[in-house]
Amino acid sequence: MKRIQLGKSDLQAPNIALGCMGMWKLSVKEAEKVIHHALELGIDFFDHADIYGGGKSEEIFAEAIGSNSSIRENMILETKAGIRQENGKNICFDFSKKHIIESVEGSLKRLKTDYIDIFLLHRPDALMEPEEVAEAFTVLKESGKVRYFGVSNQNPMQIELLKKYVKQDLIINQLQLSVMHTGMIDAGLNVNMTNDVGINRDDSVLDYCRLNNITVQAWSPFRYGQFEGFFIDNEKFPELNAKLQEVGDKYGVDKSAIAVSWILRHPAKIQTIVGTMRLERLTSIAKASDIVLTREEWYDIYLSAGHQLP
């Protein structure tokens, strides 16, 4: 499993991480198998959020590792907070000092750990007061409860506003990216064009993160649209699946591995978060870590997904 440096930190992490959003659906024994299998594959990075399963995903994870300090010390735990929900629906975003600190305290309790390796602000909050975020981060850092910080789904100016007040480096920006969700790549290819894909909807966030040593984490690497569905083996996308199969046959892996390798091929050194809880599927996807697609293969896959070059 290839490893990359996360932002400006001293953390070296696998270029494929396990997203634990669906872990709440598993029994403790099933979760234990998933976690240990991931570790055997070299995947020691686990992504959480306080809202996943209403907090149950973090609880199941902690029970699955049995509060084993030797296991905990050999993994990187990331969690997120900032989305408030009622009955499973988002009601608001909350980056207040009080909510951030209480959310981290809740995650620490559920994960049965003394510290979080990385804490992310979960999506932007229109009512964010960056001074409060800075105060919360300082409290969490100085107390040893959080080692590093980052954001998710934020554009460059939102990050710049935070950086004006926050003392700590922001090392992560978690963004949706797949071969069927390529807005931040499309805009970069269609500069000075009048077509719709030339519209820059995120302020060149991919280039910004590269310039500022912020690691991009790609979430939903197998989805199309926002949350419409999955493109692997989907009859809506015959050309893409045929190309993924063709390239997969060359490298001896399945279509999912090639879909992930397409993300990993980008020189931004993106870390891909996969959310499967199936052991055999995780094994297949993990093979993407060492695959380096050729430039021609990368563009062939991009075009097969229905994208066009100017």
**Which of the residues are catalytic?**
52
Q: In the beta sheet, which residues pair with residue 115?
A: none
**Phi-psi category of residue 204: left, alpha or beta, with phi > 0 → left and psi -120 to 50 → alpha:** left
How far is Cα 289 from Cα 258, in angstroms, rounded to an integer? 10
